[in-house]
Amino acid sequence: MNYYSHHIGDYTTDTAHLSLLEDGAYRRLMDRYYTTEAPLPADEAVLFRVVRARMPDEQEAVRVVLAEFFDLTDAGWTHKRCDAEIEAFKAKSGKAADAANKRWGKTGNAPAMPSETAPAMPTQCERNANAMPTNNQEPIPNKTLVPAGTEGGPDGQSSKEPKRSKPSPTDEDYKAARWVFEAQQKANPSAREPSWFTWANDIRLLREVDGRTHKQICELFRWAKADKFWSPNIQSPGKLREKWDQLSERKAQADPVETAREAMKDVI
């Protein structure tokens, strides 16, 4: 597709919470989707290249938009609204082509030319004879029509698997995000309010993917903000996740007694 409708009101309502960088990433992803009329690549490296997300913050913006607005399937990242627009475009194009063919007296496919060995066309009498049923002619069995959407399913049930819901941050993730922002404000009173969904989603990833607890996340962030080197470099849960191993190692070296005490808590 070289053109698609952009509904400003709907788009603004759905994306008002996005940062400028995330909004730009969303538009590039949609442009790619409509241009290829196919799902986006699931491979991050390939996807970053086609949407020209080269810097770490640009790549993080792409991840945030994919997690919120797209669905990951076997075919790649899909988008409901884009798919609906593409199907509507194809249907409209097909109707326009049919109308043009009728206007100019064209048919869809030209009939094949008969070969020299092809049998001669039957005469009118032969056609009538073939059409008349004989006494020993077996009846043609009725074909059972299968309702649309139930192909392949037992007892008329659909064979399609139910769609899985996208993971989303919990209330506790948002609460932890606000705690982290308060810690950020103590170190930098002029800190601007973040994208709460982005921060809460990064905390969700720390929990579900990396196996961290809310307490561990808040404690490591608080330690980072108290460290002269790490304080200006750790400004968000996403950056905390990226540097987690380095921060944990540095924290263990700086306060081995406290680290050992925390380890004993886990054992007990």
Residue with the larger pLDDT of the pair 39 and 94: 39
Specify if 246 maps to a domain: yes
Specify if 3 maps to a domain: no
The DSSP result for 181-240, as a single string, is HHHHHHH-TTPPP--HHHHHHHHHHHHHTT---HHHHHHHHHHHHHSTTTTTT--SHHHH
Amino acid at site 18: L
From CA 119, how far away is CA 160, in angstroms rounded? 47
Torsion of CA 214, 215, 216, 221, to 10 degrees: 90
* pLDDT bucket at 266, cuts 50 / 70 / 90: very low
pLDDT of residue 2: 67
* Domain's final residue, options 35, 67, 82: 82
Considering the entire predicted model, what is its pTM? 0.39
* pLDDT bucket at 160, cuts 50 / 70 / 90: low
Specify if 61 maps to a domain: yes
Specify if 184 maps to a domain: yes
Nearest in space to 169 (alpha carbons), one of 214, 199, 208, 200:
200
CA pseudo-torsion sign 224, 191, 18, 165: positive
Query: pLDDT per residue over 206-217, tens digit each?
Result: 999 999 999 999
Query: pLDDT per residue over 76-87, tens digit each?
Result: 999 988 888 888
Specify if 151 maps to a domain: no
* Domain's final residue, options 59, 82, 105: 82
What is the extent of the structural domain holding 208? Answer: 171-267
From CA 248, how far away is CA 254, in angstroms rounded? 10
Amino acid at site 178: R
Alpha helix positions (H), 37-79: 44-50, 56-69
Tell me how many domains the chain contains. Answer: 2
* Domain's final residue, options 82, 113, 136: 82
Specify if 176 maps to a domain: yes
